[in-house]
Chains A and B, each alone.
Chain A
């Protein structure tokens, strides 16, 4: 386009103003990318769990309520069940780290049969099962904390009135969609220690939730109903669902997170339209005479509108590319999932989300430019030249 260099010069006329518009677009889009990617990552994690044929049994009162340990054995003996494990959140503080990483008391002899997508050397599986104070940790956790087999992991109790000192016996690896920052230890050990210090604790004999591995996918629906039916009249009724559904429950914990994030996204887009539109209107007010001169020379309305909208788009597009594509690359380098305490096994900005961000910046540019552009196009040449506008 032969007018491009003129458009670029115009955009650079007031560099501070353009930089401010670019800066706010960049910041807002980076924020939008984070929020949207959070949703899409969470989605793909949940979806990937579908293939493992696992159910989660929790209390019908919610997953923070206890499920009696007896259920672990009872459910294991049901038809179509391959194995079960406790899964109890400990949440101890490691060294001086402010955020606990994910630690779970599990059935140590079963856990890697249930989580068969994890790769662990067989001798390590055995060593973990045999050492009551042993633990198995994920590869990423090991790498980030520079931990290896044989190291000790001291955990300061937070929700529990006790500390645990575990020894690493196994390091598991697995697919990228799975959390490779967990620490599994013997549920028995936790329960015994708790009995010593707080014999009347409500948390005693609490399995947390029960993980159920089904023999095949066909059994999942029947088992989901079967388990809940079995306990519906007990003191502690259960709520059973697929691991995928359970995972999605975590985002629902924050209410309608999806709707909220989408609304924030829209609010961001709208406020950017006003910010960029105001900057553009200001720029054009300073150029009233110039626009009149162009029109006198024979620049038609359509062309004037085009030039101005292109200029507006150019500015927001630079911000959009920096914010959207930039945050994509940024989060490829900086793994945000480290800081989510196991909430997200990984974090990245998918290309589809980044391109959506770039698209949003185009739209913002267009909408911010259209009104000042139309105004400028409608301005009478004679008045523009007289500067009576």
Chain B
């Protein structure tokens, strides 16, 4: 009895065209991710990790094959539909945090909620809950430049989860952080996975980071070369 499938990729190809050159990036990819899985994508630079993540998150379209996320075949949806689908279903975490510098932590986290019909009062409640979850309550009026890298990334995580999305995608979320901050971010992601049941897909170069995931996928030259199920979490993390 498996869990329902969260992400299904069937025979996915992705190529970029530049003039008459065709650059194949992903070839004949098949993948099934279950609901509540925490997937780490690893592989050398240029192997297609970001490209794969973008397909799953509905930012880009496959050249051929089907990408089905949370029961939706993304390939059949219009641009506008996919955009709305992302607003409802996907939370994004980037390597460089990508907070809006002219907005406070609170306003940054509130941004995706402005797309919903929530009242100001409900938005405030949700934002504060998200900030509390990442341990930044009391910092809501700070601007990104007044925060450390680790804190900025935590605001970004709060922003990613504030709409309570089904899926979190993270492209090298610790790539720009020192060890200690990285550990904090990884614990936070793990908590979101275990306590809140979020399906997470994380690209990382860092084997230690990958160890936190429930499954590690290795990509090379656009192909899946290794698929490791983690038996259990390392000792001393989460509970």
* Chain A residues within 8 Å of B, Cβ to Cβ: 2-3, 5-6, 9-10, 12-13, 289-290, 293-301, 303, 381-382, 385-386
* Given contact pairs A290-B98, A296-B92, A382 touches B103 in the complex (Cβ within 8 A): no
Question: Is B102 a contact partner of A9 (Cβ separation < 8 A)?
Answer: yes
Q: Can you sample 9 A-B contacts with CB below 8 Å?
A: A2-B114, A290-B100, A293-B94, A294-B111, A301-B83, A381-B59, A381-B60, A382-B54, A386-B50
Question: Is A298 a contact partner of B100 (Cβ separation < 8 A)?
Answer: no
Shortest distance from the beta carbon of A294 to any chain B beta carbon, whole Å: 8
Question: Is B83 a contact partner of A385 (Cβ separation < 8 A)?
Answer: no
How many A-B pairs have beta carbons closer than 8 Å: the answer is 58
Question: Is A6 a contact partner of B107 (Cβ separation < 8 A)?
Answer: yes
Which residues from B are CB-within-8-Å of A385?
59, 94
Over the window 79-96 of chain B, the binary record of Cβ atoms lying under 8 Å from chain A Cβ atoms (1 yes, 0 no) is 110011011100010100
Closest residue of A by beta carbon distance from B116: A298
- B149 on the interface (CB 8 Å rule)? no
Shortest distance from the beta carbon of B127 to any chain A beta carbon, whole Å: 13
- Apart from A9-B103, A296-B86, A296-B92, what 10 extra A-B contacts exist at CB < 8 Å? A5-B107, A6-B107, A12-B102, A13-B102, A289-B98, A290-B100, A297-B87, A298-B87, A300-B84, A385-B94
- B112 on the interface (CB 8 Å rule)? yes
Shortest distance from the beta carbon of A1 to any chain B beta carbon, whole Å: 10
- B115 on the interface (CB 8 Å rule)? yes
Contact partner of A10 (CB less than 8 A), chosen from B102, B111, B112, B115, is B102
Which residues from B are CB-within-8-Å of A3?
114
Over the window 98-122 of chain B, the binary record of Cβ atoms lying under 8 Å from chain A Cβ atoms (1 yes, 0 no) is 1010110001000110110000100
Which residues from A are CB-within-8-Å of B111?
6, 294, 297
Question: Is B102 a contact partner of A297 (Cβ separation < 8 A)?
Answer: no
CA of A187 to CA of B115, assembled, Å: 79
Which residues from A are CB-within-8-Å of B88?
298
Question: Is A297 a contact partner of B92 (Cβ separation < 8 A)?
Answer: yes
Which residues from A are CB-within-8-Å of B115?
297-299, 303
Question: A6, A10, A296, A381 — which one has the most chain B CB atoms within 10 A of its CB?
Answer: A296
Question: B50, B54, B98, B120 — which one has the most chain A CB atoms within 10 A of its CB?
Answer: B98
Over the window 194-233 of chain B, the binary record of Cβ atoms lying under 8 Å from chain A Cβ atoms (1 yes, 0 no) is 0000000000000000000000000000000000000000
Question: Is B107 a contact partner of A295 (Cβ separation < 8 A)?
Answer: no
Shortest distance from the beta carbon of B112 to any chain A beta carbon, whole Å: 5
Closest residue of A by beta carbon distance from B89: A298
Shortest distance from the beta carbon of A378 to any chain B beta carbon, whole Å: 11
Shortest distance from the beta carbon of A15 to any chain B beta carbon, whole Å: 11
CA of A365 to CA of B83, assembled, Å: 28
Which residues from A are CB-within-8-Å of B80?
300-301
- Of all A-B residue pairs in the complex, the 9 with the closest CB atoms, nearest first, are A298-B87, A9-B102, A293-B98, A298-B86, A382-B60, A381-B59, A297-B112, A300-B83, A2-B114
Closest residue of B by beta carbon distance from A296: B92
* Chain B residues within 8 Å of A, Cβ to Cβ: 50, 54, 57, 59-60, 79-80, 83-84, 86-88, 92, 94, 98, 100, 102-103, 107, 111-112, 114-115, 120
CA of A386 to CA of B51, assembled, Å: 11
Question: Is B103 a contact partner of A298 (Cβ separation < 8 A)?
Answer: no
CA of A132 to CA of B84, assembled, Å: 89
* Given contact pairs A293-B98, A382-B54, A385-B94, A298 touches B112 in the complex (Cβ within 8 A): yes
CA of A294 to CA of B84, assembled, Å: 12
Closest residue of B by beta carbon distance from A287: B100
Question: Is A296 a contact partner of B102 (Cβ separation < 8 A)?
Answer: no
Which residues from A are CB-within-8-Å of B103?
6, 9
CA of A301 to CA of B81, assembled, Å: 12
Which residues from B are CB-within-8-Å of A2?
114, 120
CA of A9 to CA of B100, assembled, Å: 10
CA of A295 to CA of B80, assembled, Å: 11
CA of A386 to CA of B107, assembled, Å: 24
Which residues from A are CB-within-8-Å of B100?
6, 290, 293
Question: Is B114 a contact partner of A296 (Cβ separation < 8 A)?
Answer: no
Shortest distance from the beta carbon of A269 to any chain B beta carbon, whole Å: 30
Closest residue of B by beta carbon distance from A297: B112
CA of A285 to CA of B52, assembled, Å: 27
Shortest distance from the beta carbon of B224 to any chain A beta carbon, whole Å: 21
Which residues from B are CB-within-8-Å of A289?
98
CA of A299 to CA of B86, assembled, Å: 9
Which residues from B are CB-within-8-Å of A301?
79-80, 83
Which residues from B are CB-within-8-Å of A386?
50
Which residues from B are CB-within-8-Å of A290?
98, 100
Which residues from B are CB-within-8-Å of A297?
86-87, 92, 111-112, 115
Shortest distance from the beta carbon of A306 to any chain B beta carbon, whole Å: 12
Which residues from B are CB-within-8-Å of A13?
102
Which residues from B are CB-within-8-Å of A298?
83-84, 86-88, 112, 115
CA of A103 to CA of B79, assembled, Å: 75
CA of A9 to CA of B107, assembled, Å: 11
Question: B79, B84, B100 — which one has the most chain A CB atoms within 10 A of its CB?
Answer: B100
Question: Is A296 a contact partner of B59 (Cβ separation < 8 A)?
Answer: yes
CA of A204 to CA of B102, assembled, Å: 77
Which residues from B are CB-within-8-Å of A303?
115
Which residues from A are CB-within-8-Å of B60?
381-382
Question: A3, A6, A301 — which one has the most chain B CB atoms within 10 A of its CB?
Answer: A6
Which residues from A are CB-within-8-Å of B98?
289-290, 293
Which residues from A are CB-within-8-Å of B57?
296
Closest residue of B by beta carbon distance from A300: B83
Which residues from A are CB-within-8-Å of B107?
5-6
Closest residue of A by beta carbon distance from B54: A382
